[in-house]
Amino acid sequence: MITKRVKKLKEQLFENKREISLERALLYTESYKKTENEATIIRRAKATSNILENVNISIRPGEIIAGNRTIKPRSGIVSPEMDPYWIYNELDTIENRDQDQFFISEKDKKIYRENLYSYWKDRSMKDFINNKISREVRECVSKDIFKLNQTDKGQGHIIMNFQLVLENGLDKIINTVNDRLEKNKENDYYKAALIVLKAAKRHILRYESLALDYARDENNEKRKKELLEIGRISKKVASKKPETFYEACQLLWYISIIAQYESNASSLSLGRFDQYMYKFYKNDINRGESNEKISELLQCLWIKTNDVVLIRSAESAKYFAGFPTGYTIALGGLTERGHSAVNELSYLCLETYQDILLPQPNLAVRVNELIERGFLNKTVETIRFGTGVPQIFNDEVIVPGFLNRSVTLEDARDYGIVGCVELSIPGKTYGLHDIALFNLLKIMEISLKQLKNEKNVLFEDIISKIKENIDKYIKLVVVGSNIVDKGHRQYAPVPFLSCLIENCIEKGEDITEGGAKYNFSGVQGIGIANLSDSLYALKKIVYEEKRVTLKEIVSALESNFQGEEYEKLRVRLINRYDKYGNDNDELDNIGSDILSYYAKKLETYKNVRGGIFTPGAYTVSAHIPLGAKVSATPDGRQDGEQLADGGLSPMVGKDRLGPTAVLKSVSKLDNYLTTNGSLLNVKFNPKTLEGQKGINKMADYLLAFMKLKIQHIQFNVVSHETLRQAQKHPEKYKGLVVRVAGYSAFFVELSKEIQDDIIARTEHSL
C-alpha cells in the first residue's frame, strides 16, 4: 500500500521538465584551475571535495531520506572533464532531439560555451583517447564494426562494498586509510582517499545542519520531528555505523550520491540489498518496528533511485535510450555456503516495488534449484504488473561461469548485477563491463563481400572467413578498449569509490590502476540471432538447394534486394527457411559455434590492469543504431533494418513456435562463457498471467529456464493494443513502464523507433 507521502514524492519527480544543471561542472572546474601542477588523483579528490562542500543541497517536502544530486528532480549533470565536445555541439538541439530531451537555459548555454568549454577543450579524457587511437581502430569504429564506450563519462558499472561501510562507518575507514598513509607517506592514492572521505563526512553533516534549519522554521509538529530525525541520523552516520534500518538506508543513499558526484556515471548499482540490509531489518523487527514503517522507507528509497537520470549525447542515447541509470539490485540467490539466500526482506523488496512501479530500482531475482515456490510466485506476481521488473538470473549457469574465470566459489555465489545485465562480484570487481560492442553481423557482411568473387567457396569456407575476421577485429577492439582504460587511469581515478572496493586500500591503488581484486573488461557480441538466421539460409539456398550462387546472393544483398527477382529472393529467405528461436538444432548450432568462438578468442586477451577480457551478449538499445550500419543480410533483413533485440532474443516476429521453443534455442548456446552478461527478452500477453493459474504456469516456465541453463530472461507483459494506444495518446499513458533491454523505461519517453520495436516483438502465451 502506497502512503500519501510516497504518492506525493512520486508525483514530484515528474512535475517539471528535465533540466541540465551545470553546478557540478562549474565547481569541478573551479577546483581544477587551482591545482594544475598536482597529481591527477589529488586533483580529482580536491575537485570532488569542492563539489561536496559547495553544491546546493535540499530536503524536499515530505522526504524522510535525504540526499539529492541536484536541487530539481531528474536533472542531468555534465562532465566536461571527460568530454566537453558533444554537449557543446548539442546545446541548441538537446531540448528537441528524438530521444532523452533536456532543457538548458540560454544563460547556461553561454556559461558552458565561455567558462567550461573554453577550459576543457584540448585537455579532456576524450582528447587523450582520440589522440591515442590508431587509424585502424578509428576506421573500425566509423564503420560500426565495433563501438567503444565509456569515452565521455566517469566510471560506473560497479557495485561498492556497502557492507563495509554499513558495518564499520566512515570514521573507521578514514582511520584505516590514515594509518596506511602514515606508513606510505608518498602514496597519492591514500592522500586522495583521505581528502574525499573527509569531504564525504562534511557533506553528510551539511544535511544535519539543513535539517535543523528547516525544523526551526517548521510549524507542523509531525514534520518538525521528521526533520529533527533526519538531522540526528545524518550526524550519526557521518561518523559512525548505522544501527537501525532507517539509518542504514540513509547512509546507503548518501554514499551512492557522493559516488555520483565523484564520477557522474551510470550503474553505480546497489548489489545484494536483501543480504547486507537484512541484519538491520531483522533487528528493527525484533525491536518492535512495524513492517509498515520499513515498507515506507523502502518506497522512499526506491523513489530516490528514480531521481538520478543520466544525460548522454544524441548518439549515445540511441544505444542507451530511456535513462538506464542502473540502480540494479539482486534478490535471493545463494549464501557463500551454497544455501538459499531468500529472506523476508527479499519478499518485502518485491512487495514495495509493486507499490511504486517505476523504472528504478532495476530489481533482479536470482533463481536456482533451492528457490522456494512462495518466492518464485511472488516474483511472477511482480512481473505480472508489466513494468519488466524483476529480471531473472540463473545461479545454475552463472556461478560455474565465474569459477571458469578464476573467481573463488564463495565470491561466485555472491555475484550481483550492475547496469542492465552485467555480472559482477560486489565490492571486489572493477569490470569495465560496457567497454565495447562488437558487431558480429557486420563481420559476416565483410566476410561475404571478401568471398563474393572467389571460386568454389564452401559453406565451411564462409564460417572460416568469419572466424578469421573475428580474430582480426577482436585484436583491434582490445587495443581500443585498453586505450579507453588508460584514459580513465590518467584522467578519471575515483579514490572515494575505490575505498569501497576490496584490495584497493590494502594495495594503495585506485581501481583504475588495478587495485580491485577482480579486473575484467567486458565486450558484447551483437547480432547472434541474425547471424544464425543468415548463415542457415545461405547453407540451404546456396549449398543444399543450389537455387543461387554465393556471388548472386551477395549481389542481391549489395543491391538491397532491389528489383523484382531479388525481391522474390528476399521473400523466400524470410519465409522458407527456419529462424533462430524455434528449436531447430541445425540452425541453433551454427550460432552456438560462432558465439563460442568469439567468446573463447576474446578471453585470451589481457587488459591494462592485468585482468582478462570477458564476453557478453546483450545490446541495450544498440540493436537499432548498429542495425542502421549493417547492409542487407541473407535472412531477408534489408539495409539499415534493426537487428534482433536484447542480445540472445530472436529477430522480431520470427519466434513462431512459442516461448518454450525460444528457451530451447537459447539453451544450445554455451551460456557458461558469457560471464559479462547476456540478455533474453520474452513478451507475454497479460491474459497469460491472470489468476493463480497464470502465476503457476509462469513459475513453471521460470523453472524450465533454470533447468535449461540459460543465464538471463526478462519480460514485457503488455498487449500490442495498449502499446499502440500509448503511442497515439502519450498524454494518457505517462506512467506506462516497459522493458527496453536490460532496463525499464517510460514508454512515452522512448523514440518512435524503439517504441515500434517493442510493439513488434512476438506476443506469446503459455
pLDDT (tens digit per residue) in 652-702: 889 999 999 999 999 999 999 999 999 999 999 999 999 999 999 999 999
Measure the CA angle with vertex 250, ends 247 and 255; round to 5°.
125
674 within 8 A of 438, measured Cβ to Cβ: no
> Which pLDDT score is estimated for 156?
87
> Which pLDDT score is estimated for 753?
87
**Residue 693: all three cell numbers together:** 493459474
Whole-angstrom Cα distance, residue 43 to residue 33? 10
Sign of CA dihedral 628, 631, 635, 636: positive
Sign of CA dihedral 165, 166, 168, 174: positive
> Which pLDDT score is estimated for 507?
98
> Which pLDDT score is estimated for 318?
77
Whole-angstrom Cα distance, residue 49 to residue 40? 14
> Which pLDDT score is estimated for 99?
86
pTM for this prediction: 0.96
Whole-angstrom Cα distance, residue 367 to residue 333? 6
pLDDT (tens digit per residue) in 730-764: 989 888 989 888 788 888 888 888 898 888 888 89
Whole-angstrom Cα distance, residue 677 to residue 673? 9
> Which pLDDT score is estimated for 245?
98
Whole-angstrom Cα distance, residue 116 to residue 80? 7
CA distances from 316 to 150, 445, 571, 627 (A): 10, 24, 34, 15
State which H helix or E strand residue 525 sits in: strand 518-526
Residue 6's SS3 state is helix
Residues of the chain with pLDDT under 70: none
Residue 156 Ramachandran class (φ > 0 left, ψ -120 to 50 alpha, else beta):
beta
**Which residue(s) pair with 334 in the sheet?**
340
The count of C-alpha atoms lying within 13 angstroms of the C-alpha of 700, restricted to the half-sphere facing its C-beta, is 11
DSSP 201-251: HHHHHHHHHHHHHHHHH---HHHHHHHHHHHHHHHHHTTSPP-SHHHHHHH
> Which pLDDT score is estimated for 437?
94
Sign of CA dihedral 79, 27, 10, 17: negative
Measure the CA angle with vertex 336, ends 496 and 604; round to 5°.
70
> Which pLDDT score is estimated for 226?
98
